[in-house]
Amino acid sequence: RTSNMSAPRSLVLTGAVLLSCGALFGAFVPAPRAPVSAPSATMALSAAALATPTAAHAEDGAVWIPALSAVGAGFAIGLAAIGSGVGQGIASGRCIDGISRQPEVADDLRGVLLLSLAFMESLTIYGLVIALVLLFSNPLIK
């Protein structure tokens, strides 16, 4: 059962939230900018930090392959875990919805759920294998 006042109430509440956010952001005063001075020690340290990898590993850019392999390994396991976690959560929620609607098919749904969760988890394990290959037996490193 819906109320006749739900749309106007929603509009009023949305307007109130927008006005309060505007008032909140308007209350902040920007900090005064410091004048830019001559090159400082921070700039010198930044330049040294940027030049250090090229000075330490000057032969054919060999430092980039292990570094980017570590980044790729992090992305591989991170995206695999996030994707699998979201998929497992959605599948479990839908299974619980189905069991709550039709309790007599709970055993069938539970079996299908466990099989699909195993397949989803195997994709996460594939992401782990890719990450381990990139870290420890990378074919791109001589």
Q: Is the pLDDT of residue 137 over 50?
A: yes
In this structure, how many other beta carbons lie within 10 angstroms of the beta carbon of residue 92?
A: 13
Query: What are 127's two structure tokens?
Result: 């992401």
Nearest to 123 by CA among 73, 78, 84, 76: 84
The alpha-carbon radius of gyration of the chain (Å, integer) is 28
The amino acid present at 137, given as its one-letter code, is S
Which pLDDT tens digit goes with each residue over 52-80?
A: 544 444 455 556 777 788 888 888 898 89
Per-residue pLDDT tens digits for 20-31:
767 766 666 565
DSSP 3-state assignment of 33?
coil
Question: What are 83's two structure tokens?
Answer: 């994707």
Query: Which helix (DSSP H) or strand (DSSP E) does residue 20 occupy?
Result: helix 6-27
Tokens (6 digits) for 66: 């292990």
* Global pTM value: 0.51
CA dist., res. 123 & res. 116, Å (int): 11
Report the share of the chain in percent with pLDDT over 90. Answer: 32
Give the residue among 64, 92, 91, 85 at the shortest CA–CA distance from 127.
85
Q: For residues 62 and 15, what is the distance between their CA atoms, to the nearest angstrom?
A: 57
